Amino acid sequence: MTCLAVFLLLLGAGIGAGWIQLGRLSRAAAGVQTDLQALWAHRSGENGLPPLEDVRALRVDLERLERELRSTQRATAWFPRILARQKWWPGLCSWGLLLDGCLGAAADLATTAWWVALTAESALEGVEGATTAGGPATQGEIADPLASALQALRKDHERLRRAQEALSRARQGFDALHHDPLIGSRRGESWADYLDLLSLGVEALIIAPEILKPEGERTCLLLIQNSDELRATGGFISSLAVLKLQGHRLASLRYLNSYDVEAYRTAHPPPPPPLREYMQAGVLLFRDANWSADYPTSAEVLATLFRSDMGEKVDAVAAVDTFFIQLLLAALGPLPVPQYNVTVTAENALETAIAFWEKPLEGPAITERQAQGAAWLEHRKDFGAAFLQALLERLANLSPQDVVHLARAIQQGIRGKHVMIWALNSPALQADLRRAGLDGGLRDSAGDYLLVVDSNVGWNKVDRNIERAVDYRLTMTAEGPRAKLCLTYRNLAAVQMTECVHRARYEDTYEALTKQCYWDYVRILVPWGSVLRSVQGAEWPLDVTSESGKASFGTLLVIPPGEGRTLCLEYDLPPGIIGAAGPALRSYHLLVQKQPGTAATRLEVNIALRDGGAFRAVTAPWALISAQEVSSSLQVSTDLDYALSWSPPKR
């Protein structure tokens, strides 16, 4: 009885102390929030800089918040270790992981924020001192507060990485608690959203200072890809913006039609064989150079061609597709484009751009192209420049709520591979981009692997009307794993066509270009060492090659409007993809990568054991059909990782 009383007394004291500490933390966090709101409201003073007193108040309150977080971290350091040892409630261990990760990340972020605020405060004091001493200070005489803050972030790179790792631990703990009744499904989704947004913000703090380095001028290309004409990295490169950055400032912006990048200063490299064979390409041009499914590889080729044609060295290549533009507009709301007297929304963005493509504001309509073809070609993409300028002006005037909405849109874009960035000649930045999921690269997999890459080689916009489905069946035999992959395509265009004619020509409307035969060069990337056994549904020769360490099977599919095609391949997988999950279990891992520029695609996966093994139990997304068969049905809207284990046959 005495022991119980002592335990209850200690428990009560611990809870009381915890509430007191929680109150201190809450008050410190509220102070920082108030400071940030004031700083946002007065972020530009008379000289275009934030008020010194606002930055100083933020620095003081950040110091207080950091002190309280470190104190809480020390006081609760025992908690995760104790919970990890108990066995009666497994969820407690996950709660400990969640708490430890959140506190660790918050403390490190508060420390970094304090250093940034202190650096910005010192720079602003220099501005004020220089102004007081002898009138307005010139830009060369004082430190730029924002540049100083970015430099402080660069110096605190390792602390930010540590905070990101802590957030990853917290996410692991949360994922393990996903079905805990104390969280609940709706609250759980909110918590996951907050953790993911915070993680995205930390990634931005890690990446931005490296991209916005103060040394020298940098050239970044922003590719605008049309997903109605699908290519490997998201779509045909319709146009691009050339951004010149000087530190954190945008020194200049040029908007180009992709056809303008054809100066032929030097000899162009030969095209990939499918482009030469199916599009009669004599050389590789910039607009077709995103052929590799590995975005870093395509970005390197694009940068080389741009330098060759335009004489400008490129430091980074970013790419967005039409899906991402819609995500941005959904986040930011209606966007007025005064020059064209229109307001663009997520719902009308594509149709508005198409309308000005068909009838440019300063050029003839597409229906007049026979008589004024050169003038129409010159102006058909003018609207993009005005839209981009309006978008930049909107991004320069964001509210705190806009920032949250924008972060969610970027997060969706990254997951769906609708936005990608690759930096050249910067291994450290490349590693950060890869970790953030922004690199769009082909991923390594010790197990099974699948990526379907469609490339429209028909000079049309038919992908808007294409429906896709993937059926993947894997059989574990005594001889090894054997796969059967079936790809089904349907051309939903509602038009009658007597024959498919493969030629480059414009129609009288954009819609007419979407209602054509689908000329699709499809590549299936699978593990290196896979051996093709048979092909069904291929009307053209099958190309067996390799790409980025994967085996590649490619062929041309031609699908008239209103019809469908199914391509099936059977191949043996290398035996090494089957692993061991312990002395009495076999393991299987499948990585399915999503192609950029595509909407969600239905994927059916079926695994059958024909070697005497047996599944004991499976968890989502797997469904147990029998002791020898499992299946899964999902929509591929992002990269997917499947894991599965089973008992091997008895010997």
In CATH, what number is assigned to the domain containing residue 72? 1.20.190
Helix (H, G, I), strand (E, B) or coil at 400: helix
Question: Which pLDDT does position 554 carry in this prediction?
Answer: 98
Average pLDDT in the 261-276 region? 85
Q: What is the pTM of this model?
A: 0.90
The number of domains in the chain is: 3
Specify the higher pLDDT residue, 612 or 448: 448
Per-residue pLDDT tens digits for 280-319: 999 999 999 999 999 999 999 999 999 999 999 999 999 9
Candidate from 65-79, 202-216, 537-551, 633-647 with smallest mean pLDDT? 65-79
Residue 137 DSSP one-character state: P
Same domain assignment for residues 207 and 226: no
Per-residue pLDDT tens digits for 460-490: 999 999 999 999 999 998 888 999 999 999 9
Same domain assignment for residues 188 and 239: no
Question: Which pLDDT does position 215 carry in this prediction?
Answer: 79
Specify the higher pLDDT residue, 117 or 543: 543
Helix (H, G, I), strand (E, B) or coil at 287: helix
Question: Which pLDDT does position 12 carry in this prediction?
Answer: 46
User: In this structure, which amino acid lies at residue 471?
Assistant: D
What does residue 532 show for φ and ψ, rounded to 5 degrees?
Answer: -70, 135
Same domain assignment for residues 423 and 483: no
Question: Which pLDDT does position 39 carry in this prediction?
Answer: 84
Burial of 378 (0-12, 13-18, 19+ CB in 10 A): middle
Residue 440, domain member (yes or no): no
Chain mean pLDDT for the chain = 87
What does residue 239 show for φ and ψ, rounded to 5 degrees?
Answer: -155, 180
Same domain assignment for residues 425 and 464: no
User: Is pLDDT above 60 for 9?
Assistant: no
How, if at all, do strands 217-226 and 316-321 pair? parallel
Same domain assignment for residues 159 and 234: no
Domain boundary among 211, 241, 260: 211
Average pLDDT in the 177-190 region? 57
Q: What is the DSSP string of 177-229?
A: TTT-TTT-HHHHHHHHHHHHHHHHHHHHHHHHHHHT-SSSEEEEEEEEEETTS
For residue 616, name the pLDDT band (cuts at 50, 70, 90). confident
Structural domain containing residue 169 = 2-211
The span from the CA of 188 to the CA of 180, in Å, is 9
Per-residue pLDDT tens digits for 351-374: 999 999 999 999 999 999 889 989
In CATH, what number is assigned to the domain containing residue 591? 2.60.40
Same domain assignment for residues 161 and 296: no
Same domain assignment for residues 327 and 227: yes
Cα–Cα distances (Å) from 58 to 53, 114, 558, in that order, read 9, 8, 62
What lies within 8 Å, CB to CB, of 579 at 6+ separation is 446, 447, 586, 587, 588, 589
User: Is pLDDT above 60 for 424?
Assistant: yes
User: Is pLDDT above 60 for 563?
Assistant: yes
Same domain assignment for residues 174 and 25: yes
Residue 554, domain member (yes or no): yes
Same domain assignment for residues 513 and 552: yes
CB 426 within 8 A of CB 485: no
| 50 cis-preceded (ω within 30 degrees of 0) | no
What lies within 8 Å, CB to CB, of 408 at 6+ separation is 193, 197, 331
User: Is pLDDT above 90 for 20?
Assistant: no
